[in-house]
Amino acid sequence: MDSTCMPKRANGQKTKARLLSTTEKLFASHGFAGVTMRGVATMAQTNIASVNYHFGTKEAMVLEMLKSKIGPINKKRKERLAEAKHNSCNNPLPTSEIFRALILPVGEEVQKHFSNQSNIVNIISRSFTEPASFLEKIHKHFFGELSQIFIDELKLTYPDANEDDIYWNFHFAIASMLGAFAQHRRIKDLTQGRCNENAISEMIKRLIKFVSSGFEAGMNIKL
Amino acid sequence: MDSTCMPKRANGQKTKARLLSTTEKLFASHGFAGVTMRGVATMAQTNIASVNYHFGTKEAMVLEMLKSKIGPINKKRKERLAEAKHNSCNNPLPTSEIFRALILPVGEEVQKHFSNQSNIVNIISRSFTEPASFLEKIHKHFFGELSQIFIDELKLTYPDANEDDIYWNFHFAIASMLGAFAQHRRIKDLTQGRCNENAISEMIKRLIKFVSSGFEAGMNIKL
DNA sequence: TCTTTTTTCAAACGGTCGTTTAAATATTTC
DNA sequence: GAAATATTTAAACGACCGTTTGAAAAAAGA
């Protein structure tokens, strides 16, 4: 251990950062299987063995990348929900406000790196379809707690609602959000080339409306 | 060529059918990369070279499986839409009726093979996230024409609507449908073990309500 | 029956995968 | 400066990948 907490080598930390950044791009565009040690090493302009030196295994490397990407977004989601709660003097929130807190932080991240090939929602969405068992754990770790927070908030807004109604429609809401962002090809088709940051901003507003309305309509449904 | 159009060997056709069935299971649970020639051959109780004999390449085999699974569902979707159209004397359909025609045929397929490991929506959903270029073609081939049919029908129901409104909310509807079915883990969490055919039937009703309401609310949205 | 065609099979091809090794190089510590 | 530590490197490991080969086995046609 050193007292400076700095890398031992001039570009030591930089190498690790480059590896994570490369992992991110490859995972976003080709999934877990598309992240190859040789590919990452080459794109990050380093040697294949240094990947193992910094992370141990491929799985650990992808895991660390996911943590670094999803963690901050979930933090913002909680903050935004708490802020809305505070602004409403702790009264129950409108449905749209709850889903705004859930969706906006992702949307902002998408907007930031939209032209980029490493779309955050591609990453999240891929995590949901990856079969690997270690990703299942990630889901539970990252989305389990967060889901509970938002479901609890929805229960406050709908105190008399059937619990099944809330669970199912929350499930649909998540699915809409992930699917809406993830399916790049269709977004580009829909915007017909004028797929820029404004288009994403528009999509986010539309999405919040879609999800909130669908959720509200699903409360007290007659089956 | 033979006049009987029957297999030359007692279990010849059966072998090909077993291979397709195995491909289906592996693709549903592990994606394109998870379909390995050796895995398929072993599970189908045949030799690896016979895979190549029947299909030529792995890609061709997966493609044939996808065609056999998605084709009939799309056929049912069109039939159901045409039937609803006929029952309404060619008047514009309610939003929910249009989405029922889109969702029910998938739902029925899910219900049929739910306990099965080869969930049809897993297959469709995976097709949407697979990066392989040949799958992109499948999407356009299978979903391009179908999408247009349903969008045209929605335009009849909303003759004064902004076209962007229709496209975006249709995009959300598709995303909801695929995501809702595909994310198995959350469905099982939500139903807490009582995840049987009844639960799926309930989910489909809920999903149609969610999607229709979200879509309706998204028309003439103020951005 | 014998011939022809269809189907299966064991074995091998070259290639890529994640991981490991051990030596070389850079950086920090003393 | 020298010693200790941190990092990078080339090379190789065994395992699995999709595909191909050529011959055996089964079925069909004559």
Classify each residue of B152-165 as buried b or exposed e, where b means 16 or more C-beta atoms within 10 Å of its C-beta: ebbeebbeeeeeeb
Q: Is it the case that residue B90 has pLDDT exceeding 80? A: yes
Q: Is it the case that residue B65 has pLDDT exceeding 80? A: yes
Contact positions of strand C to protein Cβ (< 7 A)? 5-12, 16-22, 26-29
**In chain B, which residues have their Cβ closer than 8 Å to the Cβ of A171?**
180, 183, 186-187, 190
In percent, how much of chain A has pLDDT > 70? 82
The one-letter code for the residue type at A17 is A
* DSSP structural state of residue A88: T
Question: How much is the average pLDDT of B65-92?
Answer: 95
- The beta-carbon neighbor of B223 closest among A34, A179, A202 is A202
> pLDDT value at position A10?
42
Taking an 8 Å cut-off on Cβ atoms, the answer to whether A209 and B221 are in contact is yes
Sign, CA torsion A32/A36/A41/A44 = negative
* Average pLDDT across chain A, whole number: 85
Which A residues 101-120 touch B at CB under 8 Å? none
Looking at the complex, does the CB of residue A198 fall below 8 Å from at least one CB of chain B? Answer: no
Looking at the complex, does the CB of residue A176 fall below 8 Å from at least one CB of chain B? Answer: yes
> pLDDT value at position A133?
64
Q: Is it the case that residue A31 has pLDDT exceeding 70? A: yes
Total count of residues recorded for chain A = 223
Looking at the complex, does the CB of residue A134 fall below 8 Å from at least one CB of chain B? Answer: no
> pLDDT value at position A4?
32
Tokens of A163: 């619990």
- Scan for tokens 């992992």, then name that residue: A23
Lowest mean pLDDT among A53-62, A138-147, A204-213, B134-143: B134-143
CATH 1.10.357.10 correct for A67-218: yes
What are B8-51's pLDDT values in tens digits? 444 546 899 999 999 999 988 888 888 999 999 999 999 999 99
Rounded distance, CA A44 to CA A19, Å?
A: 6
Give the architecture (CATH level 2) of B66-218: Orthogonal Bundle (1.10)
Rounded distance, CA B169 to CA B211, Å?
A: 9
Instruction: Choose among A103, A27, A193: nearest CA to B175.
Output: A103
Residue spans of the domains in chain B: they are 66-218
The DSSP-derived string for B27-92 is HHHHHHHH--HHHHHHHTTS-HHHHHHHHSSHHHHHHHHHHHHHHHHHHHHHHHHHHHHHHTTTPP
Between B121 and A42, the higher pLDDT residue: A42
Rounded distance, CA B91 to CA B78, Å?
A: 17
Contact positions of strand D to protein Cβ (< 7 A)? 5-12, 16-22, 26-29
Question: How much is the average pLDDT of A141-170?
Answer: 92
Sequence-ordered list of residues with C-beta below 8 angstroms from that of B160, at least 6 positions apart, any chain: none
